């Protein structure tokens, strides 16, 4: 059994895989990581290997404590990967993006794949039929756009995401929802359209915390998978264990 620890910007995801099958997952606060790991250790005593992906901050003391109980891999740019990385600054490529590309290699090999991760930021990552990772794009996510309107203006309120009733917002709240949500939808649909024109047989994956909210409103044909990053991390662990 494998334990996946995905430390994001807002919270930590823990997941247990057995033979490539997701057995359980949970989200916890960063300060509860050790408590959560110990709980899963008791529930799944067959866990042997752990991979830690830390976009946020998991301190060395916590990593050492986990390493005392398991065979731990900490994901970084020097890990052996199942694709050719053509990113010109591979040392700056986020570990979350690496994991997403690995998931696409496992599940959609020999395809042109665009992975869209709608989380704190919206990331776009593209890998070709030749198994070459070319890069992508990063833009502000849904929550970040709402927060920036509130933080950087004097009078605009902080709102929670909501599907706009109309493209024409007839109130300040309605205008914010229209601008933020339709702006993201047009961005995503527009980028997919550009990739579709350039690359044949494009497969598009949408994942991340806002994937379900956005997928119902997009015009483009996509595969929505909220566990894609976790599956990619598990694949990295399996890929390196088999070497």
pLDDT tens for the chain, residues 1 to 243: 999 999 987 789 999 999 999 999 999 998 899 999 999 999 999 999 999 998 767 888 999 999 999 999 999 888 999 999 999 999 999 999 999 999 999 999 989 999 999 999 999 999 999 999 999 999 999 999 999 999 999 999 999 999 999 999 999 999 999 999 999 999 999 999 999 999 989 999 999 999 999 998 998 889 999 999 999 999 999 999 865
Instruction: Say if residue 153 carries a ligand binding annotation.
Output: no
CATH topology of domain 2-74: Nucleotidyltransferase; domain 5 (3.30.420)
In total, the chain counts a number of residues equal to 243
Q: Dihedrals φ, ψ of 231, to 5°?
A: -65, -35
How much is the pLDDT for 82?
94
Instruction: Say if residue 55 carries a ligand binding annotation.
Output: no
Pick the CATH number of 84-232 from 3.40.50.740, 3.30.420.40, 1.20.1260.10, 2.60.40.1930: 3.30.420.40
Instruction: Please report the DSSP string for 110-169 in residue order.
Output: TSEEEEEEESSEEEEEEE-TTSEEEEEEEEE-HHHHHHHHHHTSSSPPP------S-SS-
pTM: 0.92
Q: Dihedrals φ, ψ of 93, to 5°?
A: -75, 125
The Cα 74–Cα 36 span in angstroms is 18
How much is the pLDDT for 60?
87
How much is the pLDDT for 56?
64
CB 80 within 8 A of CB 172: no
Instruction: Say if residue 201 carries a ligand binding annotation.
Output: no
- Which residues of the chain form CATH 3.30.420.40? 2-74, 84-232
- 68 classed as catalytic: no
CB 82 within 8 A of CB 239: yes
How much is the pLDDT for 77?
83
Q: Which of 96, 125, 189, 201 is catalytic?
A: 96
Instruction: Say if residue 59 carries a ligand binding annotation.
Output: no
Q: How far apart are the first and last CA of the chain?
A: 18
Instruction: Say if residue 128 carries a ligand binding annotation.
Output: no
Instruction: Say if residue 117 carries a ligand binding annotation.
Output: yes
CB 173 within 8 A of CB 157: yes
- Residue 63 has which token pair? 């990593």
């Amino acid at each position: 059994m494998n334990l996946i620890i995905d430390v994001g910007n807002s919270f930590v995801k823990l997941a247990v895989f057995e033979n490539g099958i997701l057995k359980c997952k949970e989200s916890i606060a960063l300060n509860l990581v050790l408590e959560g790991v110990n709980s899963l250790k008791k529930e799944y005593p067959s866990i042997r290997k752990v991979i830690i992906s830390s976009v946020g901050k998991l301190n060395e003391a916590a990593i050492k404590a986990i390493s005392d109980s398991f065979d731990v891999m900490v994901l970084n740019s020097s890990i052996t990967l199942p694709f050719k990385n053509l990113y010109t600054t591979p040392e700056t490529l986020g570990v979350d993006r690496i994991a997403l590309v690995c998931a696409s290699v496992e599940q959609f090999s020999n395809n042109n794949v665009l992975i869209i991760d709608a989380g704190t930021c919206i990331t776009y990552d593209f890998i070709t039929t030749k198994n070459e990772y070319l890069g992508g794009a990063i833009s502000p996510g849904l929550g970040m756009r709402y927060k920036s309107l509130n933080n950087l203006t004097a009078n605009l309120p902080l709102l929670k995401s909501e599907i706009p009733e109309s493209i024409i917002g007839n109130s300040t709240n309605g205008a914010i929802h229209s601008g933020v949500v339709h702006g993201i939808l047009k961005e995503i649909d527009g980028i997919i359209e550009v990739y579709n024109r350039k690359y044949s047989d494009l497969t598009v994956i949408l994942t991340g915390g806002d994937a379900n909210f956005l997928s119902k409103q997009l015009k483009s044909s996509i595969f929505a998978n909220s566990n894609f990053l976790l599956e990619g991390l598990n694949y990295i662990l399996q890929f390196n264990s088999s070497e």
